[in-house]
Amino acid sequence: MQNLDIELLRTFVAVIEHGSFAAGAQAVLRTQSAVTQQIQRLEAQIGKTLFNRVGRGKHLTEDGIKVLDYARRLLALNDEACIALSGVALSGEVRLGAPHDVAETILPNLLAHCSATFPDLKISIHIGRSPHLLNALRHGEIDLTIAGGEAAELRFLTLRTSPIVWMCAPSFHYDPTQPLPLIVADELSYFRRIAIDSLQQAGIRWRITYTSPTVVGVRAAVRAGLGVTARTIEMLGNDLRVLSDPAALPRLPEVSFRLYLSSNSTNALARRLFDSLANKSF
């Protein structure tokens, strides 16, 4: 059995996190041609094509999406082990917010990293919606939060940049002659705006068949085959599939999940934890 090269995986994740081969090359302190060679070596190592060229851009293939998930987990575990063995101590309590979208993906990896690195640190978790969590951070009700939205006045680290995809139940059949049955969250939802704006710009007819303020409700409706939703790949599982026909539905953007810290934070533990997570992928 072959071993995956951590250095190649780190370069691959950097390209995705920073949005291009050029920006990824800067992040890993290599030339763009060297990064291209590393991606080619990784593709040869796993025997899969990671990127499709579309016009002047490159987008992840379905295999690329799978490899991205494994790469992030392997890098997180590698970095946790390295830091845990360094003997850095941190103890006390930090209040951490996280949206429902990442409660089963980024959050467990982040908590595992914190536990392995700072075993004496107590973390209280606050699950909510990104806009509410960002407001709680601004008002000092929590110390750090993961969020999918943007808040220019806050310090942040990018934990993960994920593709948004159209997803549906395995049995769902899309008939392009009929309005697309759309499953979305309520008006606060970033993903709702992305889905509707993309469909309108592409001139595709749509109708909302189900709404829910929670990811759990949206997922349940999609699993039931009531329609299609637009979410990041973190919501995918064996019970959902990507509706990937590029001729049928418009390509969707990526979204960055960030860890935010208030610029005026007085919690030294939160600042130390925040700084320890720099350049980590989850």
Q: Give the Cα separation of 218 and 212 in Å (integer).
A: 6
How confident is the model at residue 183, as a pLDDT? 96
User: Tens of pLDDT along 67-98?
Assistant: 988 888 888 777 667 755 665 566 678 999 99
How confident is the model at residue 197, as a pLDDT? 95
Q: How confident is the model at residue 269 (pLDDT cuts 50, 70, 90)?
A: confident
Q: Give the Cα separation of 128 and 97 in Å (integer).
A: 7
Clarify whether residues 247 and 265 are in a common domain: no
Q: How confident is the model at residue 24 (pLDDT cuts 50, 70, 90)?
A: confident
Q: Supply the range of the domain harboring residue 35.
A: 6-82
Q: Give the residue-averaged pLDDT of 192-208.
A: 94
Q: Give the residue-averaged pLDDT of 9-37.
A: 87
Clarify whether residues 196 and 238 are in a common domain: yes
The DSSP 8-state label assigned to residue 249 in this structure reads S
How confident is the model at residue 150, as a pLDDT? 79
**What pTM value is reported for the model?**
0.64
Clarify whether residues 265 and 244 are in a common domain: no
Clarify whether residues 204 and 224 are in a common domain: yes
How confident is the model at residue 88, as a pLDDT? 56
How confident is the model at residue 198, as a pLDDT? 94
* CB-based burial label for 55 (10 Å; 0-12, 13-18, 19+): exposed
Judged against a pLDDT cut of 80, whether residue 127 lies above it is answered with: yes
Clarify whether residues 169 and 134 are in a common domain: no
Q: How confident is the model at residue 11 (pLDDT cuts 50, 70, 90)?
A: very high
How confident is the model at residue 23, as a pLDDT? 85
Do the domain assignments include residue 60? yes
User: Tens of pLDDT along 219-263?
Assistant: 999 999 999 999 988 888 889 999 876 667 999 998 889 999 876
Do the domain assignments include residue 140? yes
Q: Give the Cα separation of 188 and 183 in Å (integer).
A: 14
Do the domain assignments include residue 1? no
Judged against a pLDDT cut of 90, whether residue 203 lies above it is answered with: yes
How confident is the model at residue 201, as a pLDDT? 94
